[in-house]
Chain A
Amino acid sequence: MSKHPITLTINGQEYNLYVADHHTLLQVMRDQLDLTEVKYGCGRGECGACSVLVDDEKEASGRKAIDSCLALAVTMDGKKITTSRGLGENGQLNTVQQAFVEESGIQCGFCTPGMVVKATSLLEKNPNATEEEIRFGLEGNICRCTGYVKIVDSIKKAQKVINKK
């Protein structure tokens, strides 16, 4: 194994790192940078608990959410990344997170950091998403607690708030 120098900007902070070529972005964030808000749920792109936003990979109008367990850290060199902790300003909640709090869209909370990241991306790309589109957009993020009912309610609430602004 060899190590490579890379630069990542996560939640606005720049990190100059040496990363092993086989380490994923998830491993680097959790193990090297202690960014434990990015969760390890399966390690193989099935559950979405490790979702982060890649700020510079815009699709249509919104940022792209990826499974950080599927991205090798070396391939992310130079990228700007946002985790659940960086969604709002100054460590506060963004509209989506606020809606999750108000609508009780959170139970055990383990899927939540990934869920709010995915929902933020979804609403950026499609502010007028129908319920069907919201549900389809969440298919890569597993929640075992809520049956998705209050998660969808939360996103619909956030959508209303965003579209009013």
Chain B
Amino acid sequence: MTTSVVGKRIPKVDSKDKSLGTAEYAGDIRMKGMLYGKIIRSLDYAHAKVKSIDFKEAQTMPGVVKCLAPKDVTKNGYNTTIMKLLVPEAFNEVFGEISEMYIFNTHIKHQGDSVCGIIAETEEQAERAAAKVKIVYEPLPVYLTAEESRQPDAVQFTPSKPGNLASEFDPGFFPDKAYGWPDAETDKWGDDLESECDVVVEDNFYLNKVKQCQMENNCAVALYDNRGRLTCWSSTQMPKPVQVLLAELFELPLSRMRYVTTIVGGAFGARLGMVCEPHACAMAMAVQGRPVKVEMTREEDWIASETRFPGDYKMKMGFKKDGTPVFVDAHFTGYKGAYYTHGGGPIFCAAAFVHGMYKWQTMRMKGDSYFTNTAPVGAFRGYGNPQTSFVQEQLVDVACEKLGLDSVEWRKKWHKTIGDETWLKGVTYASDDLNSCIDIAAKEFKWYQKKKKYATQKGPKRRGIGMAIMNHTSGAWPMLLEHTVSTVKLNEDCTVEIMQSVSDLGTGGHTAIQQMAADTLGWPMEDIHLTTGDSDVNGFDVGAHASRTVYCGGPATMEACESVKKQLMERAAQLLEARVEDLEMDSKKIISVKGSSKKSIDAREIAKQGVYNFFDAATGKQIGIPGQIQGYSSYLANHCSPPMGATFSEVEVDVETGQVKLVELVNAHDIGKAIHPPSVEGQLEGGAQQGLGQVLCEDMIYDKEGHCLNADFTDYKMLGPTDMPKAKIILVETAPDPIGPMGAKSCGESALMGPIGSVANAIADAIGIRFTEAPITPERILRGIKESGKTFA
């Protein structure tokens, strides 16, 4: 019998390295002759034209090697986002992006936009010289909201987007520029539909600008070597797409563009594309033969890399009096930030996850966004879904209250299930055990006991409980390309080397992939090694986004390992003069005819003879079968097996201070099969910290000039170890997915949504006031209490 490692709580493959600190992140790279690049950013102006750049004094500073103005680097535009590579070319602009970013800019669109660069012998010399560069700006009006930048006389951000309308649902794909499912002829909206409903609820919400706050700052090292080949090292989520974008930007064939990922110090979407890689590469090309390192400071990371999509989100829902959901009608107007990064992607997904949750008879959701002079928006764990949780899960509770229905029971009855369409039209759920999640979590949380207990409370501290459910995705098929290549080389000692691009953002992806390989081969973990992150070695892979590593990457690993095993068995069959189907291999790698231990061969012999293949001097016959065995898979996903989950939260609101204390959180997740349970739990526990922060305290604050006022860990409050509630994560494995590898569905992004909706609901439960603006800060709570006129004796 083989010993399975899948589902076991084994230590992660990289944890010793990480606990010692020997794991190498991009910032830890040291190279012979390495120079340092400093990006000079517009710190005083969020919207301006650069009139002149004067390097006169800077270039005389000690250690300065080169000063680079916009004219000294490629004139090609780019977009940090990789989405265009994941959709057919015709859809590039709809789902993808336009190339309106430049390495150094003359039209400054946000605080932190890059203006020019300095290369010097040391980082400090580069910084000191940077301080001597004289830049003259012509200030332009600053627009912080969609309402401001959409005005007819507003300065245009980019010629291809008139009216600063960055994105809206393309009518070519979305009739009436809306995501929904009824056809135009039978569809009824507005008064017609409302009049059929017994209860209609609606509200306008505001969603905050949240930062990923990965602990490792962005850093890229690049070398343009003397053979004319460019190499870039950084810690990205998306190694292969970044290689392709850099090659395009610098007009190099892929054979002359190498990209290497280091260990990734957290990402959460912040590295779903390029960050400072274009700058490091441009600088390296200016000093051929010497590596250049560009490391962003924490403040730069804050103001110059992408954030979650903030904006105005309104939603209306209609119901029959028995609770039948009739319609949902929503509109999300996003504040796009400075560039067309990630296009309308997160807004589309906000709509998509509305589509995937409840059995509405009809749905319509519109979405648009307008440029603003704030940090660009991009990907952040959940990708539109956290915004939807805040809005949708609150309105469902409001409706249930009006209907006089139990909101838990309503959700159990009306959430989508097997056979219903998922977040994406035309793709149906293949598995679902959300109701078990709800039941198990409710019991663990003691929902109904607490409901009774907190019905009558007195005094200034009020307890409240709330719950929310969520749906997400495993990979993004068929909206986006889902392709992973895995090559598994059988070493001559019968161990394997997996060559596959997998960015492990801390998720445990490297461990899970090797566990899946070990179980597929039936061999121990020690016999498996993963070579990853180098475009010279690894085949194509989309990257680590959309909760896809196990779901889309795992099957590639498994297929390639199966191929290795099959080839071994075929050779064994030939050597043993038996049929493949009659053979079995044990954990000691002995292949034998079933039921006959005498007729057997050691797989190690086969592997060895494949490489060291000789002739028997006595007989003149070839010993064994020649050729090193290699397995290969070029795997394209064919589903997105959405996971669902239920979260219950308890809070205590101090009505005198507005403080919210998080008391308890229970999150049950329909994982299907947990490949590495501690990693799955870790995703759900850590995601909760981010979701709870989004609903309670995290928000980038700008003054009216567009300066970010809280670009640091002190003023941008994240929840710390004493702020976090008692948390219980429950992995529900009662419904293995029939499509997912080994039954697995995803968990990477799922954890944020439930905490957001459930805490918003718990606050409303505690004090009887709804909050429509996120985050629900003490200030907002006190204002809400004051405006309501409520007293809490």
Contact = CB atoms under 8 A, between A and B. Distances in A.
Interface of A: 31, 34, 36-44, 46-47, 49, 83-85, 91, 93, 97, 100-104, 106-113, 116, 132, 134-136, 138-139, 142-152
Given A84-B21, A150-B681, A107 B686 contact: yes
A153 B727 CA distance: 12
Given A84-B21, A113-B21, A104 B15 contact: yes
A107 B508 contact: yes
- Which A-B residue pairs are the 3 nearest by beta carbons? A37-B21, A109-B18, A108-B506
Contacts of A85: 20-22
Interface string B2-43: 000000010110111111111111011010000000000000
A134 B14 CA distance: 25
Contacts, number: 174
A142 B713 contact: yes
A145 B18 CA distance: 14
B712 A40 contact: no
B20 A142 contact: no
Contacts of A139: 720-722
B685 interface: yes
A138 B21 contact: no
A15 B498 CA distance: 41
22 contacts: A36-B21, A36-B30, A85-B22, A104-B11, A106-B18, A106-B19, A107-B508, A107-B682, A107-B686, A108-B505, A109-B265, A116-B19, A139-B720, A142-B213, A142-B720, A144-B214, A144-B718, A145-B682, A146-B682, A147-B688, A147-B689, A148-B721
A100 B216 contact: no
A97 B686 contact: no
Interface residues of B, number: 57
B507 interface: yes
B215 A91 contact: no
Given A40-B217, A104-B9, A109-B15, 8 more contacts: A34-B30, A36-B27, A38-B21, A43-B297, A46-B712, A108-B505, A142-B713, A149-B686
B724 interface: yes
Contacts of B267: 108
B690 interface: yes
A12 to B, nearest CB: 15
Contacts of A135: 721-722, 724
Given A104-B682, A142-B215, A150-B682, A110 B265 contact: yes
Given A37-B22, A135-B722, A146-B685, A110 B216 contact: yes
Contact of B507 (A34, A38, A107): A107
Given A85-B21, A93-B16, A100-B19, A109 B678 contact: no
A47 B20 contact: no
A108 B215 contact: yes
Nearest to B725: A147
A36 B24 contact: yes
Contact of A104 (B12, B215, B729): B12
B264 to A, nearest CB: 6
Contacts of A83: 21
Contacts of A142: 213, 215, 713, 718, 720
Nearest to A135: B721
B518 to A, nearest CB: 18
Nearest to A114: B21
A97 B11 CA distance: 12
B444 to A, nearest CB: 15
B590 to A, nearest CB: 32
B122 to A, nearest CB: 8
B44 to A, nearest CB: 21
A44 B713 CA distance: 9
Given A38-B21, A107-B682, A148 B689 contact: yes
Contacts of B689: 144, 146-148
A46 B713 contact: yes
A31 B30 CA distance: 9
Interface of B: 9, 11-12, 14-25, 27-28, 30, 123, 212-217, 263-268, 297-298, 505-508, 678-679, 681-682, 685-690, 712-714, 718, 720-722, 724, 727, 729
Contacts of A132: 722
A18 B712 CA distance: 31
- Which residue, of A47, A142, A148, has the highest number of chain B Cβ atoms within 10 A? A148
A108 B712 contact: no
Contacts of B298: 41-44
A15 to B, nearest CB: 17
Contacts of A150: 678, 681-682, 685
B12 A110 contact: no
A48 to B, nearest CB: 10
A151 B727 CA distance: 13
B694 to A, nearest CB: 13
Nearest to B216: A110
Contacts of A152: 721
B15 A146 contact: no
A152 B19 CA distance: 15
Contacts of B21: 36-39, 83-85, 112-113
Nearest to A152: B721
Contact of B686 (A49, A113, A144): A144
Given A145-B506, A152-B721, A110 B15 contact: no
Given A36-B21, A107-B686, A110-B265, A144 B213 contact: yes
Contacts of A93: 16, 19-20
Nearest to A136: B722
A50 B686 CA distance: 21
Nearest to A134: B721
Contacts of A116: 19
A109 B15 CA distance: 8
Contact of B264 (A36, A37, A41, A108): A108
Contacts of A110: 25, 214-216, 265-266
B520 to A, nearest CB: 23
Contacts of B266: 107-108, 110, 144-145
Which among A39, A106, A109 has the highest number of chain B CB atoms within 10 Å? Answer: A109
A113 B682 CA distance: 18
B727 A147 contact: yes
B28 A36 contact: yes
B27 A40 contact: yes
Nearest to B729: A149
